Structure 1
């Protein structure tokens, strides 16, 4: 009787261990790098201060200012690099002291178009972009298409900028896991 109970317990332990192994083996990890190209002025602006203080003057934006954006998602930092999709979303300056004391709380979607490896797919990102040290870390809460079931985080940092037109380029490294 004691032998059969021990064999039964051993079988249960082995089943649990094999289940855990299969769960970990089923996880898939991706590391992706892309570049956001943001134009902050002129007729082709991709970032708009839609409400709040400092209308049209980014250095005068204050607490409660609301921004919307429709930036270009590119393969590289160069202005002529391949267009892969769009990055759309909105942000709110969420601290009373404005940008220097906190940052912009953003929700954005990285849409991958026909020129990309993942056409019709997207990644949704939430977090704060601040004046603090880089890289900024934001949460990837999910995705669609090829990214369905993935979550993780993205690290972003300024890459370079131009003055005419005012274009800011940000490098994004995504670390995604599917379970």
Structure 2
């Protein structure tokens, strides 16, 4: 009888300890900033000028007859190394860099497959990055992308990013406003 009580007591203690441990792990951020974090910044995407930060690397196929006159083609691959800033002005403090590439995946419209890293270079998240992967229809006023991971303070990050053109010209580039929501 005493042996059974001891075994039950040990089992109860182990069960309580493991539930506390795993409960904290599931609800904690492990020192990361992924629990309900909101980031807001502006991405400067420049195709022209003396130091472009985005470039068409592989031109796609010739436009379809009903899409002649568009500056983008099915199969275009572009890369970016764009500044992320606090505000939309050119002199606004820099907070990071958006590095990645897009592939135009639609024969009509401006739909791209996006793979991008948002690398934080200032503030409380310096040295951390977020991984964005999504289908982006740039003809939409508001675009949603998926946050699929991260590094540093954003390790195991999950969430989404909402982007909208702030001041943008498809031929020259421009400014995109981005809100990131992590949970």
TM-score (norm: length of structure 1): 0.76
CA contact 2:84–2:98 (8 Å) conserved in 1: yes
- Name the SS for the 1:117 alignment partner: helix
* C-alpha separation in 2, matches of 1:87 and 1:26: 28
Residues 90 and 172 from structure 1, CA distance in 2 versus in 1: closer, same or farther, beyond 3 angstroms? same
Q: Flag structure 1 segments of 5+ consecutive residues without an equivalent.
A: 1-10
State the Cα deviation string for residues 64-86 of structure 1 (Å, max 9, x = none).
11111110011111111001121
CA distance in 1, matches of 2:160, 2:120: 17
TM-score where L is the length of structure 2: 0.74
Other-structure match for 1:105: 113
Give the distance between the partners of 1:52 and 1:26, measured in 2 at CA.
46
Equivalents in 1 of 2:100, 2:26: separation in Å? Answer: 33
- Give the 4+ runs in structure 1 shifted more than 6 A: 17-21
Who is 1:40 aligned against? 47
Which residue does the alignment assign to 1:125?
132
Select which of 68, 86, 89 maps to 1:78. 89
- The RMSD of aligned alpha carbons is 3.1
Stretches of structure 2 lacking an aligned partner (at least 5 in a row): 1-11, 30-34, 63-68
In structure 1, the residue matched to 2:66 is none
Partner residue, 2:180: 174
In structure 2, what is the equivalent of residue 61 of structure 1?
72
Q: What is aligned with 1:31?
A: 38
CA deviations on 1:142-170 (whole Å, 9 max, x unpaired) are 110111121111110011248xxx45111
The CA distance in 2 between the partners of 1:32 and 1:94, in whole Å, is: 28
- Aligned counterpart for 1:92 among listed residues 89, 103, 107: 103
Paired with 1:45 and 1:54, the residues of 2 have a C-alpha distance of: 23
CA distance in 2, matches of 1:50, 1:141: 25
Q: Give the total of aligned pairs.
A: 163
